[in-house]
Amino acid sequence: MKKVGVAILGLGVVGGGVYEILTEKREYFKKTQGLDITVETVLEKNVERALSRGVSKATIAANIEEVVSNPNVDIVIEVMGGTEPAKSFVLKALMSGKSVVTSNKELFAKHWSELEEEAKKMNVALMFEASCVGGVPIIRVLQDGMQANRIKSIKGIINGTTNYILTKMAENGADYDTALKEAQKLGYAEFDPTADVEGFDATYKISILSSLAFNSKVCIENVYREGISGIDKDDIAYGKSMGYTLKLLGIGKQSEEGIDVRVHPTFIKNEDPLASVSDSFNAVHLVGDSVGEIMLYGRGAGSLPTGSAIVSDVIFAAKHSENYYTPFKNNVKGNKATKFVSDFVSKYYVRMLVKDDAGVLAKISGQFAKGDISIKEVKQMSSEENLAEIVVITHPALESAMQKTIEKIVSLKEVVAVKGFIRIEE
C-alpha cells in the first residue's frame, strides 16, 4: 500500500476540516483508495488551537523550513489564505520537491504562473480544486470532463456571502445593511466584508475558471468587476415583479469577438436554474458545444465541503504519476495574442426618479433612441408627490452606449436621479 505523508499549513476553519477528514477517514482511504495518508506535520502559530483539534505537540512545526525539510512529507496543503506568507511558503515547498494543494484563490489568481513555473521545474503537482466554489468539483470537470467541448460560456454564483445577502433582501425585504449584519452575525461575512461584497473574491474565482474554460490566461485585470454594496431592495422587488431574480454572477463568454469576463449584480429570469440557488449555496452553469448545458451545485465554503475538495486533490496527486499543468501560455500578463471583449453587450434594467410631468417619458425614450438602444419594456410607478419612478428594460446594447445614454438622461432637468442600473442575462 502506498504511503503518503502530508503537511497542513494553517489549522483554521478549512485546515481544521482537512485535518478532521484525513485523520477520521484514514482507514476508509486505505480500503477505497489503496493509500495510507498520514498528517506528518502541521504549521500553526496558534499552538493551543492545534492541540484542541487533537494534533500532538510533536507534530506541530516551528517554521516552514521544518516542514519542507521533513523527508516524510510528500504533499503540502496550504490553507492559510492571503498572498503572504502563503506565496513564500508554497514556493519553498515546491522548490523542495513537494507537491502542493491549495485552496487560496487570491494567491492562485495573482501568482498562478510563478507557482506553476516552479512546479514544472521540480516535476511536482500543483493542485487547486478548492480555490473555486468550495466542495463543488468544478476544476476537475473543466480539466478532465469537458475535453470534447469548446466551452461557450461559464456563468455562476461563486460567492456564498453575497448570495446569502441578496437572498435575504429578496425574501425578507431587508435592506443591504441589515442583510449584511445578519450575514456577519452568522459567520457568512467577515468583519471587513469588502473582498466579498465588492466582488474581489468572485473576480479571483472567475479569472481561474475562465482561464481553464477558454484555454487562455484570464488575468484579474481582464475581469470587469462590480459589487453589491450599491444594491437597493426596491430594485430587487421591482425586478421580482417583472420576472427577474438578482444574483452576483461571475460570467465568462467566448465568441469570435473574443473573451468576455465579468463580475457584477445581474438580473436573471425567475425560471433560470441559477435563480433557485439561495442562501450561501453556489452553482456553476456551463455551456459546451458538444454536451450542451451542465450545472454543478453545492456548498461554496465551509470546513468540510472545502476540506473535501482539498482531500480529493491530495488523493488525485498521490495516485497520478503524471502532473497536470495548464496547456495554454500561463505567464504573468497572459498571452498577448488573446483577444478580450472591451465593450460587452447586455440587456439592462434602469430605474429613474423623475418629475411627474407630461412629456418626461418621451424625452427619456428619445435619449435611448439617440444611443441606438431599443426599449423592451417600460413601467411607471407613482412615488412621492409630483414625482414618479420609471423602470426601463432594454434589448441588448453595448455597455459603452448605455453608459453614455445614462449620462445624457441624468442631465435632463426632468430627471431627479437614476436610482438603479443592473445588467440582465437571459
In which element (H, E) is residue 409 found?
helix 399-410
Q: Which range among 199-208, 320-329, 349-358, 373-382 has the greatest average pLDDT?
A: 199-208
Average pLDDT over residues 313-323: 94
User: pLDDT grade, residue 93 (50/70/90)?
Assistant: very high
Percent above pLDDT 70 for the chain? 100
Tell the CATH superfamily of the 145-299 domain.
Dihydrodipicolinate Reductase; domain 2 (3.30.360.10)
Position 337 confidence tier, pLDDT thresholds 50, 70, 90? confident
Q: Model confidence over 255-270: pLDDT tens digits?
A: 999 999 999 999 999 9
Mean pLDDT of the chain: 95
- Tell me the percentage of the chain whose pLDDT exceeds 90: 90
Which residues partner with 8 through β-bridges?
42, 77
Which stretch of 138-152, 175-189, 324-338 has the lowest confidence by average pLDDT?
A: 324-338
- Residue 355: active-site member: no
Q: Under CATH, what is the fold of the domain 345-425?
A: Alpha-Beta Plaits (3.30.70)
- pLDDT higher than 90, residue 395: yes
Residue with the three cell numbers 480555490: 131
Q: Is the pLDDT of residue 383 over 80?
A: no
Residue 374, CB-side half-sphere exposure with 13 Å CA sphere: 5
Given pLDDT bands bounded at 50, 70 and 90, which one contains residue 386? confident
What local confidence, expressed as pLDDT, does residue 330 receive? 84
CB 68 within 8 A of CB 98: yes
Average pLDDT over residues 48-53: 92
> What's the confidence (pLDDT) of residue 301?
86
Q: What is the CATH number of domain 2-131?
A: 3.40.50.720
Instruction: Read off the pLDDT of each residue in 48-68 and give the average, rounded to a whole number.
Output: 94
Predicted pLDDT at 188: 87
| Domains of the chain, residue spans | 2-131, 145-299, 345-425
Angle (nearest 5°) at CA 81 between 80 and 82: 130
Say which of 205, 217, 247, 253 is annotated catalytic: 205
Q: Is 85's pLDDT higher than 90? A: yes
Q: Which amino acid, one-letter code, is at 417?
A: A
Residue 1: pLDDT band with limits 50, 70, 90: very high
345-425 matches 145-299 in CATH topology: no
| pLDDT tens for each residue of 148-196 | 999 999 999 999 999 999 999 999 999 999 999 999 998 888 899 999 9
**pLDDT for 385 beyond 80:** no
The pLDDT, as a whole number, for residue 358 is 84
Mean per-residue pLDDT, 367-392: 90
Distance (Å, whole) CA 390 – CA 162: 27
pLDDT 10s digits, 202-248? 999 999 999 999 999 999 999 999 999 999 999 999 999 999 999 99
Check if the beta carbon of residue 193 is closer than 8 Å to that of residue 161: yes
pTM of this prediction?
0.95
Query: CB-based contacts of 16: which residues, under 8 Å, 6+ apart?
Result: 53, 303
Angle formed by the axes of helices 176-185 and 160-172, to 10°? 130
Burial 182-207 (b: 16+ CB within 10 A, else e): bbbeeebbeeebebbbbbbbbbbbbb
